């Protein structure tokens, strides 16, 4: 049996948590970044491979983590991308027929430092009161680095505000994504029996969707492919002319990490093509679309991260439980001045969770309708995007209600 190795998590406010090392921390690897927390009860594997967590140390609030191991089919990017991982208790077993690795071995192979055995309730309370903080995970001994030295390292870490991390995770070149949802496809919604096709074209013909990839989750693309879309992803450096040359039916802007206000390349491109083609944005894509229209963004105190975030659709009155992962928010007043109209509101704090343009075929949401991990309440938004590509008109309440009602009817059954 392997001897227990000690590890520490030091925060910029001077607090230090002592626990046990696992993952990359067993090999004395250190991690540093913004410490954030996720309130989902499960889905740790999808969260760890969500590129939106780049540069962050992720804390799970659920008590036990790792009990179902790691399955290759459930990853959202090529590898774990967090700067570090924090849990209350690491499961001693991985009970799942699909599991190929234990969580600790998988993180060790990826070089991700991790710590268990700390009071995550106390840590999360500190983050909720003081806001997301910079931190360091280290398994070096006290003789090699004191608590004060680790705190000093945490304070030297660059702030997430002003960090253009999308440039680091965006693909280097374009490509096509062809994998559908497969056996995980929802058994309902608007397009359960027949795949839609672009208006005026033969049945079975695909919608051409160009995606500006700033760190997209794979399940987003799977949802588009499932709805008869041919998805070509482009790096964040894609120009307006490169998008126009492909003559797409729709433009998608993906999620991603970092401060949206400094991803100027994408903002400039979106400003140039705004309204030319039906456009849908998720998370960072939502923020970038708002910035391109002339709105502003601001940093939330500790962000929204989890699979239990309540959102109200203002166009239909329905409430959906959503999966979210973001630390920045669009300013509603500036959005309205730029021609945007709020469509979704976060019910915990009243912040903007989605908008549409009143005159252009553009809409976006701050959360993750692909449900990986998370509930399926918001999958209707992909149907709304397909409808908008069919009509090439701004999305309205009727389209929202029809798509949301179709999904809700299946859920009730």
Gap between the Cα atoms of 49 and 65, Å rounded: 15
- Is 368 catalytic? The answer is yes
List, for residues 236-249, the tens digit of each pLDDT value. Answer: 999 999 999 999 99
The whole-number pLDDT of residue 193 equals 55
Residues 154, 12: Cα–Cα separation, whole Å: 5
pTM for the structure as a whole = 0.95
3-state class of 189 per DSSP?
coil
Q: Where residue 188 falls among pLDDT bands split at 50, 70, 90?
A: low
Domains of the chain by residue range: 6-155, 166-412
> Over the chain, what is the mean pLDDT?
94
Dump pLDDT digits (tens) for 256-278. 999 999 999 999 999 999 999 99
Active-site annotation holds for 229: no
| Secondary structure tally for the chain: helices H, strands E | 12, 19
Of 12, 46, 76, 370, catalytic: 370
**Other residues' Cβ atoms within 10 Å of the Cβ of residue 158:** 12
Q: How far apart are CA 292 and CA 281, in angstroms?
A: 12
Angstrom CA distances, 326 to 110, 330, 363, stand at 24, 11, 18
**C-beta of residue 51 within 8 angstroms of C-beta of residue 132:** no
pLDDT for residue 204: 81
What is the pairing mode between strands 16-23 and 6-11?
Answer: antiparallel
**What is the tens place of the pLDDT at every residue in 197-254?**
887 788 888 999 999 999 999 999 999 999 999 999 999 999 999 999 999 999 999 9
- Asked if the domains 6-155 and 166-412 are classified in one and the same CATH topology, the answer is no
Active site residue 42: no
Calculate mean pLDDT across residues 358-382: 94
CB 368 within 8 A of CB 255: yes
Judge whether residue 186 has pLDDT over 90: no
- Was domain 6-155 assigned CATH 3.50.30.20? yes
Band of pLDDT at residue 118, cut at 50, 70 and 90: very high
Rounded distance between C-alpha atoms, residue 85 and residue 305, angstroms: 14
Please pick, among 12, 283, 286, 387, the residue that the annotation labels catalytic: 283
Domain 166-412 top-level CATH class:
alpha beta
């Amino acid at each position: 049996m392997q001897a227990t190795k000690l590890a520490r998590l030091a925060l910029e406010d001077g607090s230090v948590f002592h626990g046990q090392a696992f993952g990359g921390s067993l090999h004395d690897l250190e991690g540093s970044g913004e410490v954030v927390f996720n309130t989902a009860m499960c889905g740790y594997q999808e969260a760890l491979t969500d590129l939106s967590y780049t540069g962050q140390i992720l804390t799970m609030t659920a008590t036990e983590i790792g009990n179902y191991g790691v399955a290759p089919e459930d990853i959202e990017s090529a590898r774990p991308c967090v700067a570090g991982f924090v849990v209350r208790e690491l499961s001693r077993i991985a009970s799942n027929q699909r599991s190929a690795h234990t969580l600790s071995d998988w993180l060790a192979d990826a070089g991700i430092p991790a710590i268990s055995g700390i009071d995550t309730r106390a840590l999360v309370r500190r983050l909720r009161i003081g806001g997301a903080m910079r931190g360091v995970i280290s398994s070096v001994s006290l003789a090699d680095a004191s608590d004060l030295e680790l705190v000093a390292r945490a304070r030297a870490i660059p702030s997430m505000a002003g960090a253009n991390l999308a440039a680091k995770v965006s693909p280097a070149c374009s490509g096509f994504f062809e994998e559908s949802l497969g056996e995980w496809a929802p058994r309902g919604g608007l397009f359960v029996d027949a795949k839609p096709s672009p208006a005026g074209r033969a049945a079975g013909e695909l919608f051409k969707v160009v995606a500006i990839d700033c760190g997209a989750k794979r399940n987003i693309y799977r949802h588009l492919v499932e709805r008869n879309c041919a998805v070509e992803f482009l790096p964040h450096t894609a120009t307006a002319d490169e998008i126009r040359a492909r003559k797409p039916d729709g433009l998608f802007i993906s999620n991603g990490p970092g401060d949206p206000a400094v991803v100027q390349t994408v903002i400039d491109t979106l400003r140039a093509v705004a309204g030319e083609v039906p456009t849908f944005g998720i998370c960072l894509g939502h923020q970038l679309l708002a910035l391109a229209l002339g709105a502003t963004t601001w940093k939330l105190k500790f962000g929204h991260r989890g699979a239990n975030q309540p959102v109200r659709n203002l166009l239909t009155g329905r409430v959906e439980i959503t999966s979210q992962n973001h630390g920045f928010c669009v300013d509603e007043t500036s959005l309205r001045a730029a021609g945007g109209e709020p469509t979704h509101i976060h019910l915990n704090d009243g912040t903007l969770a989605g908008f549409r343009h009143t005159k252009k075929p553009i809409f976006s949401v701050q959360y993750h309708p692909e449900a990986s991990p998370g509930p399926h309440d918001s999958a209707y938004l992909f149907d709304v995007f397909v409808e908008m590509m069919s009509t090439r008109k701004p999305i309205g309440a009727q389209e929202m209600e029809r798509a949301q009602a179709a999904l809700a009817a299946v859920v009730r059954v």
